[in-house]
Amino acid sequence: MPTKLRIALVAGLLAFASNLLIIGFIHWQTRDQIVANERKQVAEQWAVLRDIYRASGEQGLRRAIDDTIGAGDPQMAAAILTSDGRPIYGNVSAVSLKNAKPSAGPRSVLLTIDREATPREAAVGFMRLADGRWLLSGRTVAEGISLRETLERSLLVGLAVSALLGLICGWVIGQFVDRRVRDIVAVADRIGGGDLSERVPHSGGRDSFERLAERINQMLDRIATLMNELRMLTDSLAHELRSPVGRLRAAADAAISASDPQERDKLLGDVIRQSDALMRILTTVLEIARTESFTAKNQFSWVDPGELGLELAEMYEPVAEEAGASLTLDRQPILIPIAGHRQLLAQALSNLIENAIKYSGPGGEIRLFVREDEKGLSLGVSDHGPGIPAEREGEARKRFGRLDPSRTLEGAGLGLSLVQAIAHLHEGELVLDDNEPGLIARLEIPLNGVKIPDSVGAL
């Protein structure tokens, strides 16, 4: 069944049911109301006539009956009957008086008002007069009933109309829903066909469909960005690999044309070095992709950040010294272990230290720091090298993004993007700050739910 038909039917049914409920309520209420009114009137009139009879006897009663009838109320019925129920005075021409008992009424009887052909239902009260005759006083209920009937009839018409309106409304809503969904489906189809530029049109409103469209468009934007990045990465990978491959080829060419065996050995060594450099680029690109896909999460273990800092400081201190720089470790005495990837964290720090050594040059003071506060773990490296201008930060993080335009320093510009991927793997960020002068590059890793154990607090 198509959606719009289903929505129309449901709406129609709901309208019908709710109206039925309202009509039922009105019906029940008005009926009670009418009946209560009738009862009251009958009882009041009976009481008035009784009082008059008691006060002024039959003469007064007859006058009162005349007055009552004469008031012009067509529903009014008042009469004196013989003990066997034959009307002898009043406006009633016939009544069946079965088991009449004196009462204020109302009892339901069939009676014929003067000059009318058919008997009508009436609510009446009876009173036994002194000589065994009866006083009948009451009202025919025809008018009340017909009022009710009219009301009911109109309510029924209303019911039919509302059901129809519900059906129409449902159809219109269904039509609307159908159209919006059809728009989205059409866009999805075109995107499935390969056109990622397609977007769900805006209707301008703020309804759920608009929000859905917005989300879908956001999702498409994200996918398009990723696709674009991927395309750019593939492009730049192909492009960036040209120079190392070129160098490799040049080295091989040189080796092949060398006649002196010693010279050739040296040149062949170059060939191997160049192919190693090429491999290193590929390994790093793969490492970044792997890290970004978060598959390394299952290799997380408890890592003591202080120990990590100590290891790397010890590892690179001689290297820095060799380069004429100095490397110092600045770490808090007690650090909470974090759930992390020891190898990748070490690699991230190693990349940052290598960068610092490379850019600091002789005399550089490099500081490796490991700190923890309530926000989390912060580990990184500061130097007094050239730093990274704020406006070029994005570039520095990019794969193959190298800020040195002459490209005199070795490296493919992959280091920081790997560090960033490692930070993301640990739900953290790579933060680059100005050391005035120089660079502070640090990983900020939140300590997710890791509480300080009591035993540590007691130390």
CA distances to 3, 81, 173, 185, 219 from 210, in Å: 19, 80, 15, 14, 14
CB 358 within 8 A of CB 409: yes
Distances (CA, A) of 64 to 70, 76, 78, 133, 187: 9, 13, 9, 17, 86
- Least separation, in Å, of the C-beta of 319 and other proteins? 5
One residue of 128, 148, 247, 280 binding other proteins per CB under 8 A: 280
* Shortest distance in whole angstroms from residue 327 CB to other proteins: 12
Greatest CA separation found in the chain? Answer: 160
279 binds other proteins (CB under 8 A): yes
CB of 332 to other proteins, least distance (A): 22
Does residue 452 belong to the site contacting other proteins (CB under 8 A)?
A: no
Alpha-carbon span 446 to 438, nearest angstrom: 25
Q: Give CA angle at 326 (322, 331), nearest 5°.
A: 130
Number of residues that bind other proteins (CB under 8 A): 28
Toward other proteins, which CB reaches closer, 348 or 370? 348
Q: Based on CB atoms, which residue is closest to other proteins, 263 or 434? A: 263
**Does the footprint of other proteins cover residue 299 (CB under 8 A)?**
yes
- Residues 134/81, Cβ–Cβ less than 8 Å: yes
| 346 forms part of the interface with other proteins (CB under 8 A) | yes
Angle between helix 305-322 and helix 342-360 axes, rounded to 10 deg: 30
At closest approach, how far in Å is the CB of 328 from other proteins? 16
Q: Which of residues 316-345 bind other proteins (CB under 8 A)?
A: 316, 318-319, 322, 341, 343-344
- Decide if residue 245 touches other proteins (CB under 8 A): no
Residue 347 in the binding site for other proteins (CB under 8 A): yes
Please report, as a single letter, which amino acid is at residue 447.
L
CA angle 378, 384, 386 (to 5 degrees): 110
Residue number with CB closer to other proteins (232 or 315): 315
Tell me how far, at minimum, the Cβ of 257 lies from other proteins, in Å. Answer: 21
Smallest distance from other proteins to CB 286, Å: 6
With CB under 8 A as the contact rule, the residue among 296, 403, 431, 450 that binds other proteins is 296
Q: Residue 405, Cα to own-chain centre: how many angstroms?
A: 48
> Would you say 125 or 413 has its CB closer to other proteins?
413
Residue 287 C-beta: closest distance to other proteins, Å:
5
Q: What is the CA radius of gyration of the chain?
A: 50
Number of H helices and E strands in the chain, helices first, is 9, 13
Q: Does 311 bind other proteins (CB under 8 A)?
A: yes
**Nearest distance from C-beta of residue 455 to other proteins, angstroms:** 27
- Residue 286, interface with other proteins (CB under 8 A)? yes
What DSSP string runs through 307-322?
Answer: HHHHHHHHHHHHHHHH
The rounded distance, in Å, linking the Cα atoms of 237 and 400 is 8
User: Judged by CB under 8 A, does residue 409 bind other proteins?
Assistant: no
- Rule CB under 8 A: which residues touch other proteins? 269, 272, 275, 279-280, 283, 286-287, 290, 295-296, 299, 311, 314-316, 318-319, 322, 341, 343-344, 346-347, 350, 354, 357, 411
